[in-house]
Amino acid sequence: MNHRPNFYIAFLLLGFIFLSSKPEKNYYNELYRPQFHFTPEKNWQSDPTGLVFYKGEYHLFYQYNPHGKECAFMHWGHAVSPDLVHWEHLPVALYPDNNSTDSVLCTAFPGSVIVDENNVLGKQAGEEKTLVAFYTSYQCGQRIAYSTDRGRSWEKYEANPVIPYDRLDDARGPKVFWYAPIKKWIMVLWRKPEGIEKHQGFSIYHSGDLVNWEYKSHIPGFFECPDLVELNVNNRPDDTRWVLFDGDGSYLVGSFNGEMFIPETGKMQSDYGNNYYANQTWNNIPDDDGRTIQIAWMKGGKFPDMPFQGQMTFPVELSLHKTGNSIRLVRTPVREIETLHGKEYHWENRNIIPGIQDNILKRCKGDCFHIMGTFDLKTANSFGFMLRHGKKTPGIEINYDVKRGTLNCLGKTVPLMPSNGKIQVEILLDRTSLEIYANQEQVVMTSCIAPPRKNNSMELFTHGGELYVDQLKVYEINAVWRDQ
């Protein structure tokens, strides 16, 4: 009997299975596709929302338009990650209410998600705790949705809205968290009381059952996207402050008694770049981790000819640093960045002389890097980096002006004083983003970029005098999407 036809059929089937299971080489590898920052596969993405950790997964929800690349028809997109860098796309979580097909009315605006540990809402169906989402249904009130299967599917609460819509205050963006000292849930909600512009800001509410909310206080001077977190000062667990964030990343440091936020500082900036907005922190980070982790939207970024519009910042850990009577926020890239490190370039104790063609970074070619360096200013008038530099078009210049004490990049200038005559920088460079952290994160600049494909070199330069490299490490960054 001739078995050859069966053999050929089996061979062809195996070949088809192999080819169909092989990752597409162009998946997440387009010219302006970030390689280690979150983006949706396609369409509009903006504000991070509903950030929560549950059973080994960081949930990232975000404002999403499933119909196109414009800011409209807001839904909650959804992704999960075990490590804050490798993300799995999940189906859309929240849809507009009241069967709305309007581009704005009753669409799912930002909010937050908590873990209902004690089944207060009464929706727990098995061993899995209920995830409860609080969101603004635009011009349709503050509403609840819940999931009993680790966020894989969502149901709308039958008695929505829990806070009715008031056309005067136009409330939005509920941030909800548990406040143990008074055993209550806290909601921070943006409002414009009585429709008065100068009163717009954040209102604080209480609830014991997640459904009935009691107004407690209001603090004016904020625009949207509220967040309120408690942080240790100088890593001391016995010394804490609360930080109240606005949508543009500006913040106040103060105290919180469960009913009212009391500022101790004036409003300060946390980012000085071109494209930083809608920052939010994760709820429910385990105590044995202990970090407060934040992410934001890179508002206003351009992604020419891409199937998507929008990207997130790289996640950061938050802390407070106090020097004398001054206290400020510190944002540090999460340690998980190290898991993406590829080839390392390393220099120590190198003297850089202006005008001499000895670019120590000439071997660093590519578009995704993690750069960390400490520089002694010596006699330099200015120094810096030229990133994504090309033969025909110039790269992106990061310049520190020694005489003026300023850091300059992409049209932004921010004061930055040396520490013991030295400047320390950490840089995250992706295909469409540049994040700069300077002098122990004293200054952070977050910006979007769109350099030409062939611009793949970098340079360290000094002008007017010598620069001493105490230490400089450059790591190539591995793409996080290749195995998807």
Residues of 128-140 as b/e, b for ≥16 C-beta within 10 angstroms?
Answer: ebbbbbbbbbbbb
In the 8-state DSSP scheme, what is residue 419?
Answer: B
pLDDT of 150-190, one tens digit each?
999 999 999 999 999 999 999 999 999 999 999 999 999 99
Using alpha carbons only, give the angle 88, 89, 94 rounded to the nearest 5 degrees: 135
- Band the pLDDT of 306: cuts 50, 70, 90: very high
Task: Concatenate the DSSP letters of all residues of 168-227 into one string.
Answer: TT--EEEEEEEEGGGTEEEEEEEE-GGG-GGG-EEEEEEESSSS--EEEEEEES--S--E
- Taking the C-alpha atoms of residue 278 and residue 312, their distance in angstroms, rounded to an integer, is 10
Reduced to 3 states (helix: H, G, I; strand: E, B; else coil), residue 291 is coil
* Closest of 478, 371, 483 to residue 35, by C-alpha: 478
* CATH class of the structural domain 341-477: mainly beta
Among the residue ranges 15-29, 123-137, 410-424, the one predicted with the least confidence is 15-29
Say what the pLDDT of residue 24 is.
62
- Taking the C-alpha atoms of residue 424 and residue 322, their distance in angstroms, rounded to an integer, is 19
- Taking the C-alpha atoms of residue 187 and residue 363, their distance in angstroms, rounded to an integer, is 52
- Band the pLDDT of 355: cuts 50, 70, 90: confident
Are 265 and 280 in contact by the 8 Å Cβ rule? The answer is: no
Say what the pLDDT of residue 4 is.
47
- Catalytic residue set: 47
pLDDT at 410 > cutoff 90: yes
H or E element at residue 6:
helix 4-21
pTM, rounded to two decimals:
0.92
Which tokens sit at 6? 């069966």
Asked if CATH classification 2.115.10.20 holds for the domain at 43-333, the reply, yes or no, is yes
Reduced to 3 states (helix: H, G, I; strand: E, B; else coil), residue 103 is coil
Long-range contacts formed by 256-262: CB under 8 A, 24+ apart: 256/228, 256/230, 258/179, 258/181, 258/182, 258/184, 258/186, 258/206, 259/204, 259/206, 259/216, 259/217, 260/204, 260/216, 260/217, 260/219, 261/202, 261/204, 261/217, 261/219, 261/228
Which tokens sit at 403? 């005489």
Domain ranges in the chain? 43-333, 341-477
Among the residue ranges 4-8, 346-350, 461-465, the one predicted with the least confidence is 4-8
pLDDT of 77-95, one tens digit each?
999 999 999 999 999 999 9
- Taking the C-alpha atoms of residue 271 and residue 446, their distance in angstroms, rounded to an integer, is 7
- Band the pLDDT of 324: cuts 50, 70, 90: confident
pLDDT at 11 > cutoff 70: no
